Amino acid sequence: MAGNLYNTMYNPDVLSCIANLSNDEVFTPPEVANAILDLLPQEIFSDPSITFLDPACKSGVFLREIAKRLLKGLEPLYPDLQERTDHIFKEQLFGIAITELTSHLSRRSLYCSKTANGNYSVVHFDTIDGNVRYKTIKHRWQNGKCVFCGASQKEYDRSGDLETHAYEFIHTIRPEEIFKMKFDVIIGNPPYQLSDGGGGAGKSAAPIYQYFVQQAKKMHPRFLSMIIPSRWFNGGKGLDDFRREMLNDKHMSAIVDFADSKDCFPSGVDIPGGICYFLWDSHHDGTCTVTNVAKDGSTITEERVLNEFDTFIRQNRAVDIVKKARAYNEKMMSELVSSRKPFGLESKQQFDSDGDIILRNSSGLGKVRSSRLLSGIDLVDKWKVIVSKVSFEHAGVPDKEGKMRVLSVVQKLEPRSACTESYLVAGAFATEEEADNMISYLNTKFARFLIMQMLASMNMSKSSYSFVPIQDWSKSWSDAELYSKYKLSEEEIDFVEQIIRPMPNGGDE
């Protein structure tokens, strides 16, 4: 009988499946899954009519942990264990796996058998899938990219024996047709990104987790909860519309945020910009409970209006400091800082032996012909303050002490000089003294703290300076003066001092 079963059933090579898993498909630890489930009203686990969907099953941990809660909560209604198990697994729990391998893992976690109609399944279905399905889906290509997820055709237009990562849930305009039913709770940990074919050697990746959130909302659940990268707080590549949608959605009931993803995923998974999970409640209409989780596990929770600012200030304790920095209605440095490529020169721009102006690139100082400049001509003969385009920390992750330096480089360039796109020009002045005074300001912990509030990735732009007030450049600045000017409390000063490192040669060390 066993031999006949193996001959009639498609049994993929498990190693081939594992080799084709995306490194952006992060498995959820059980303790994290349970922390997310704790956001839901617990009475739903005693209701036999509530239906649950995980649209991005990997290990099946969400469905398994939900099953545990239902098995306990429904015991008074279904005293017989098998009757209770049959009802829960057949009528309440549903999943869509993201790969064939994860469909087997998820069914094994949920049914104790990779086949739902197998002899060892805790409930018997008439099909192999049961309520955890996997279907091979093809991308829909248009101009080299998938119209649903933006994946690169060059990278993902693969043969049939390889995973295409065309996830069923987001590759349809009618997700409700997948199971032809309505779900009360949609919950899960979706894939985070896919290569879009851009960037150097086609290695650029675009986020896709937002599509899972948006698709879930189309199904009008009672509750929606997912764990996703926190980079959406500040928008950016493919996320600007999603950020606006989330920040203006009054159904957002709770957000739990980890600035360092390794504090959430014990396996040490490093997600640039951190990780968060949220609860969206269709009956909620008001403020959102935002919880910051520190490296030591301690938390700070505040009721917040998410759309108070154009971006989302992730640290609750930073909100009042930002408000004080904006209280004088001063112009912000985002109006001064240059756009990307201030002189039109790429980072790989080489030096010229016959150059007539100084060039600062990532390797140091040299010379370049002024005829190479494509923009910023009016800045060449001024004293310039340049700042690094990339933050000192990897994507805003604090050091072991929970501190950040934020800026890698704050330097001045003399007249007859330019820089590559590795830098932004923070300001240009007629005198060296004014440039030095701006440097004194950017070296303060106060200024860098305000820049930090806009960080969601390692790349910085002029918008990163949207909370940093422009100062009087005829004088130098210190933290003591700025703390006094903006009336920071002792507690707020301590907070800034605790999380911002001194700048080398910045007057603090």
| 336 or 295, which is more confident | 336
* Greatest Cα pair distance in the chain: 89
pLDDT for position 470: 98
- Taking the C-alpha atoms of residue 105 and residue 63, their distance in angstroms, rounded to an integer, is 12
Sign of CA dihedral 162, 165, 168, 172: negative
Residue matched to tokens 């800026």? 407
pLDDT for position 459: 82
| 272 or 473, which is more confident | 473
> Is the pLDDT confidence value at 117 over 60?
yes
Rounded mean pLDDT, 236-255: 92
With bands split at pLDDT 50, 70 and 90, how would you rate the model's confidence at 375? very high
Rounded mean pLDDT, 92-96: 98
- Taking the C-alpha atoms of residue 177 and residue 415, their distance in angstroms, rounded to an integer, is 65
pLDDT for position 397: 62
Rounded mean pLDDT, 297-307: 95
Instruction: Give the tens place of pLDDT for each residue, 155-210.
Output: 888 876 777 889 999 999 999 999 999 999 999 999 998 876 655 544 567 899 99
**DSSP codes of every residue in 256-310:** EEESSGGGT-TT----TT-EEEEEEETT--S-EEEEEE-TTS-EEEEEE-GGGSS
21-30, 41-50, 242-251, 439-448: which has the minimum mean pLDDT? 21-30
pLDDT for position 4: 35
pLDDT for position 204: 67
Q: Give phi and psi for 333, each to the nearest 5.
A: -65, -15
> Is the pLDDT confidence value at 23 over 50?
no
With bands split at pLDDT 50, 70 and 90, how would you rate the model's confidence at 416? very high
With bands split at pLDDT 50, 70 and 90, how would you rate the model's confidence at 456? low
| 7 or 248, which is more confident | 248
| 19 or 389, which is more confident | 389
Rounded mean pLDDT, 364-369: 95
Rounded mean pLDDT, 25-40: 92
Q: Which fold has domain 324-499?
A: Adenine-n6-DNA-methyltransferase TaqI; Chain A, domain 2 (3.90.220)
Residue 311, both tokens:
């971006």
pLDDT for position 506: 47
Contact assessment for residue 285 and residue 251, using Cβ atoms and an 8 Å cutoff: yes
pLDDT for position 509: 36
Q: What is the DSSP letter of 233?
A: G
292-296, 359-363, 455-459, 473-477: which has the minimum mean pLDDT? 455-459
Instruction: Give the tens place of pLDDT for each residue, 258-301.
Output: 988 888 987 667 787 789 999 999 999 999 999 999 888 899 99
Q: What is the DSSP letter of 431?
A: S
pLDDT for position 478: 97
Sequence length of the chain is: 509
pLDDT for position 350: 92
If you average pLDDT over each of 3-7, 19-23, 422-426, which comes out highest? 422-426
Strands 145-146 and 141-142: antiparallel
pLDDT for position 269: 74
117-121, 343-347, 468-472: which has the minimum mean pLDDT? 117-121
> Is the pLDDT confidence value at 484 over 70?
yes
Domain ranges of the chain: 324-499
Q: Work out the mean pLDDT of the chain and round it to a whole number.
A: 89
- Taking the C-alpha atoms of residue 241 and residue 150, their distance in angstroms, rounded to an integer, is 15
Q: Hey, which residues does 280 pair with through a beta bridge?
A: 224, 252
